[in-house]
Amino acid sequence: MKKYIKHLYILTLIVGVSVFYSFKEHQSDKNPEKDQVLMEALRFILEKGHYEPKLIDDTFSEGIFKNFIENLDPYKRYFLASDVAQFKKYYHDIDNQIIRRKFDFYNEVIETFAIRLKESEGLYEDILKNKFDYSVKESINLDAETAEFPINKEEQRNIWRKHLKFSTVNKLNDYLKEEEDKAKEDKNYKAQYFDVLEKKAREKTLDNIKDLFYYEHQTPESDRFAIFLNCITAQFDPHTSYFAPDMKKRFDSSMAGSIEGIGARLSDERGYTKIVELIPGGPAYKQGDLEVGDYIVKVAQGTKGEPTDIVGMRLTDAIELIKGKKGTTVVLTVKKVDNTYKKIAIVRDIVEFEDTFVKSSIAIKDGKKYGIIHLPKFYIDFSKQEQRNSAIDMRIEIEELKKDGIEGLAIDLRNNGGGSLSTAIDIAGLFIEKGPVVQVKYKNNKPDIRNDEDSKIVWNGPLVIMVNELSASASEILAAAMQDYKRAIIIGSKQTYGKGTVQNVIPINQYLNYSEDLGALKLTIQKFYRINGGSTQLKGVSSDIVMPDRYSYLDIAESKLEAPLNWDQIAKATYSNNNYYSNFSQVVSQVQNSISTNKQFNKIDEYAKWLKRNQDHLTYSLNLKTFQSDQEKLNIEAEKYKDILKYNSPYKFVSPGYESKLVQVDTILKDKRSVWHKNLHEDIYVNEALEALSQLKVAQ
């Protein structure tokens, strides 16, 4: 099964589905009637409202079977092979149970899980009583895809022993390194004995595993049932998901939507807490060390706090440890995409909305000026006080840059996960006359062609748009429209993320007369299409000029998710893509050839391949010396690539004229722009975008 990631790009639209029931409320915590009501409501909404509803058949049943068991036991250390064999009687019956509103499969799996959970609890304390033998040559495979369920209790114990030993080896290695560093700093320091550190490592592993089991025991019935329901919704597509009432509240107040914390969107990937997105302007974004694709494995409160291992912990509980009050420090131990480990201290703060807005800079070379606009989100009404709108802000920035005499404009959409569709259309309209920008389609309906209705062109000069693998949704709409009109050169990764679907968050009680809160459903209801007729789904937008980057070979695109909707094509809209530039093809060819022979880009491509090899390597030695040697080798290799993305640009970066006056009196803004301009100066991708921009000539 492909890696399953819950991505959180949401566009709020209205869906034409309603369902009405009236039932009496039961007071017990476990309410079979309520579960039946919820199941029927979800089934109805999914079948009637989903853009591409799936047939609930035996294949559908197989997917739920696999997903539910893997969600409960991703590392195959609770269930026995005989348990799974027993569950197999439901392999082709879960679909029938959904239709009949029966839960035989769910109930038996949950009951068996509770038994195995209790049995496993009796194992770990016994295993951690005694010192491990770290000289034995053995390893652990953490690839959930290839791992198998234990055939008996003895094999199960050995699996637990390996997991506990792996955790202890990690901690012991950290303690040994800390002692080594202290000895280097102070020659009189008396290092602790190995046995003392080994016992300390085992005790810390014991504390962490107790926490894990505590969280498992505290998991409410509604959350377990929500996991099951999400295994059903996941068969439709990766963006359709169910939120139980408590989970919805935690989701709303978590760092994924809160303005206080570290400013990151997280997902649960087989027991690991993964960074999905960094919120522009947030503490993690500013600190700079945390990256999309990193896994958080430990969380410590303050620089002196003992870290808590969160591998295997529920995402909601992990979030509770990570988020916190403004001004407090959280120390995250993260597993980087290259398999190295790094401690990152982040001071929690309130995400500054101002940093998520459009901002611009001027690049100067040989007396010529070029504008750069960074658009982190397609926002609208982002601040209720100011009613900010990304399209209006973009227009203002362009008008100001024009006053400064720019000869070309680059728009940076890298890492922009999307947002408001209407602002994407309005921004496209700044560069073209009236015409179609995107096609939006409900199932079984004709596509709705969304047009730019304003004939005024705000910028008619050379235009380059920067993208990468994390440019998604509305970013892809803007880039695709500019490419179809041949209005801009698209430069960046081989293709963008490939999310061509729209979701709506539906409170289930909105369509159901029931006294208890039944939660909400995030439902895929529409698909985007380019004006040339092709979907942005899966394929995204292919760059005209491709630049190697560190994400080139990593599994982070829509196509790598489980059960994504297919790419398809509809009729093209009526539009004209006259040759806007006299030398478009020549510039694309020349810059692409330059990148292909550039030694730094070749090195970046080598780095990207190295990252992919390490991401796929999931077998670790449990021999302490070998483990230390492997980690040291990884650290040395990582050090070789430490500054691989750094560049010394020939361009000088300054604030636009109107902002130059502001930075003279606003020291905070001055510091922010100073950091941004330094980053632009060291960004090889910005340099190549400017090189392409400087060569483009508008046809007369």
Q: Which residues have a catalytic role annotated?
A: 473, 484, 499
Return the half-sphere exposure (C-beta side, CA atoms, 13 A cut-off) of residue 309. 23
What is the amino acid identity at position 195?
Answer: D
Residue 5 CB neighbour total at 10 angstroms: 18
DSSP 543-579: -SEE---TTTTSS-SGGGSSSPPPP-B-PPP------
Give the DSSP H/E element, type plus range, for residue 684: helix 684-695
Residue 89 DSSP symbol: G
| Whether the Cβ atoms of residue 341 and residue 335 lie closer than 8 Å to each other | yes
Q: Of 430, 429, 474, give the one whose Cα is nearest residue 452.
A: 429
| Whether the Cβ atoms of residue 264 and residue 290 lie closer than 8 Å to each other | yes
Displacement of CA 566 from its chain's centroid (Å): 20
- What is each CA distance from 502 to 8, 272, 473, 522, 534, in whole angstroms? 11, 27, 8, 10, 16
Give the DSSP H/E element, type plus range, for residue 62: helix 58-72
Cα–Cα distance, 195 to 519 (Å, whole number):
51
Q: Are β-strands 619-621 and 349-350 bridged in parallel, bridged antiparallel, or unpaired?
A: unpaired
Q: Which residues, 6+ apart, have CB-to-CB distance to 561 below 8 Å? A: 2, 3, 4, 5, 7, 238
What is the amino acid identity at position 700?
Answer: Q
| Whether the Cβ atoms of residue 526 and residue 442 lie closer than 8 Å to each other | yes
| Whether the Cβ atoms of residue 202 and residue 210 lie closer than 8 Å to each other | no
Q: Of 290, 11, 3, 172, give the one whose Cα is nearest residue 624.
A: 172
Radius of gyration for the chain, computed over Cα atoms and rounded to the nearest angstrom = 27
Q: Of 238, 221, 243, give the one whose Cα is nearest residue 507.
A: 243
Cα–Cα distance, 269 to 75 (Å, whole number):
12
Residues forming beta bridges with residue 115, ordered by sequence position: none
Cα–Cα distance, 50 to 442 (Å, whole number):
9
What tokens were used for 403?
């006053």
